[in-house]
Structure 1
Amino acid sequence: MEEELGSWFALSGNYKLSDKISVSSLILAWDYEIADNFNFILYNVGLNYKISPKVTTTLAYGYADIDSGFEKSGPHTYENRLTEQISYKHELFKLPVDHRFRVEQRFLDQPSTNVLNNRLRYRLGTKIRLNETFFLRLHNEFFVTVQTKKNEGFSENRLFTGLGINVSKSTNIQVGYLNRQIRKLDLHRILLGLYYKIDFSKNKIK
């Protein structure tokens, strides 16, 4: 599993309802191999409130199906996830910087037992504009498990670097490499994502 190059697919939307309030959606699918050998799928919806141009808070709910089998389907874990999040963005030496602080309560329905897994996440990222069409996206996120049946402490790290393509003012595609380090595994993934925004507050696409 560790030697295989896998894939992640993301479909992320943001629907602006007013100057302060928006709704976000996310479908995230992982495969152990390129577009093959199912590993994980997450459906997520969130309610966002913009405190200021730099600070946004989010409350979200997600449902996930996790397959622990590699070469063939194994026992599945089903997850209900609650998320509280705050995002902050600013400039540092004219470089845009974004921070995402997230707390998750993960209710895991495993084959033999049910587990409540509380997790802290922090992501630091930037978006470097190359021209009107292309940009670079870089971010690193680390995870701390603060309470399970066994306290794990630092549990995961995800490093992403990719190329973004602005399809329009409201839509972009990102493709790149994601390195996931978890439980002593060093996993390599190709990420392909479609990200879009729709402004319902003015009844038109931004």
Structure 2
Amino acid sequence: MKKLGFLLCFAICSYSIQAQKSAEYQLGTWYMYNGSHKLSEKYSLKTMAHFRYFELASEFQQEIYRLGINYAFNPKTNLTLGVSYSTGDLAYDTSSIDLYESRFYEDLNLKSIWGKFNARHRFRLEQRFIHKNITVDQFQNWLRYDLNVSYPLSNNWSVYAFNEIFLNLNRSKTFAQNWTGAGFIYKLNKNIKLKTGYFQIKLPNTVLKRLQLGVILNTDFTKKTK
């Protein structure tokens, strides 16, 4: 009976330790850079680099780089065409196949004002060229919709909330992910903003928790310097 109790206790402890090593129990962190650089009255350059971890600063998950050219039809409507490249680790705390992706993407961005709230709708189409290890190559079409709402708290501080849904159009069950989160943005000066927040990634079988720590850089090359 003592042996049975010992084995049962050992099994429970082992399961508890293993569970705590699962990805859904970790608070991961995304370190982010996003930039917008105005080139002319209608055109601007969009840049991005994200470094994503399963934990605070360890257990690498993904790095992604994005470059796009943006055209503004008017102050409320603009279009971005771009490319991105990413590498990723598919599993937490264990060896797994490496993932490499090259993507083309097309964004339609719509801006609106709801009282004191600023709303942005982004519709994104992605063509993903996926390479796993050496032998597996896939092509997938994804559709994403992001709703981002912000509210100014002062001249320098604002609060934001967002929800983004991901659909994989090459699968019969198209739902792939849903991101929901909120946070704060601090305007450091006319060119730089700092961003911090928290969000959850809902996958078909699990939910991941993430912090966001970012820098937003906006420049305007149309202004003449004296």
Q: TM-score under structure 1 normalisation?
A: 0.94
Which of the residues 64, 72, 85 maps onto 2:107? 85
Q: TM-score under structure 2 normalisation?
A: 0.86
In structure 1, the residue corresponding to 2:93 is in which secondary structure? Answer: coil
Answer whether contact 1:106 1:118 (CA < 8 A) is retained. yes
Change in 2 beyond 3 A, CA 1:145/1:184? same
Q: Which amino acid aligns with 1:30?
A: R
Task: For residue 74 of structure 1, report the CA deviation from its aligned partner.
Answer: 2.4
TM-superposition CA deviations, 1:131-155 (whole Å, max 9, x none): 01111011110011111xx433111
Answer whether contact 2:153 2:159 (CA < 8 A) is retained. yes
Q: Which amino acid aligns with 1:97?
A: A
Answer whether contact 2:151 2:160 (CA < 8 A) is retained. yes
Between structures 1 and 2, the one with greater strand share: 1
Q: Which amino acid aligns with 1:187?
A: L
Between the aligned partners of 1:129 and 1:94, the Cα distance in structure 2 is 8
Task: For residue 203 of structure 1, report the CA deviation from its aligned partner.
Answer: 4.4
Answer whether contact 1:101 1:121 (CA < 8 A) is retained. yes
**Unmatched runs of 5 consecutive residues or more in structure 2:** 1-22
Residue 143 of structure 2 is matched in structure 1 by 120
Task: For residue 91 of structure 1, report the CA deviation from its aligned partner.
Answer: 1.0
Q: Which amino acid aligns with 2:209?
A: H
**Moved >6 Å (runs of 4+):** none
TM-superposition CA deviations, 1:39-71 (whole Å, max 9, x none): 000011000000110001000100000111311
Any residues of structure 2 matched to 1:160-171 within 5 Å, and which?
160-171=181-192
Identity of matched residues, %: 30
In structure 2, the residue corresponding to 1:2 is in which secondary structure? Answer: helix
Deviates more, 1:40-49 or 1:107-116: 107-116
Q: Which amino acid aligns with 1:44?
A: R
Between the aligned partners of 1:167 and 1:152, the Cα distance in structure 2 is 43
Task: For residue 72 of structure 1, report the CA deviation from its aligned partner.
Answer: 4.0
Change in 2 beyond 3 A, CA 1:73/1:14? farther
Q: Which amino acid aligns with 2:136?
A: T
Between the aligned partners of 1:20 and 1:194, the Cα distance in structure 2 is 24
Matched, 1:102 2:133: no
TM-superposition CA deviations, 1:60-108 (whole Å, max 9, x none): 1000001113114421111001001110001123421110000000100
Residue 69 of structure 1 is matched in structure 2 by 91
Residue 61 of structure 2 is matched in structure 1 by 39
Residue 48 of structure 1 is matched in structure 2 by 70
Between the aligned partners of 2:147 and 2:196, the Cα distance in structure 1 is 18
Matched, 1:181 2:211: no
**Unmatched runs of 5 consecutive residues or more in structure 1:** none
Count of residues paired in the alignment: 202
Answer whether contact 2:116 2:151 (CA < 8 A) is retained. no
Bigger-Rg structure (1/2): 2
Q: Which amino acid aligns with 1:146?
A: L
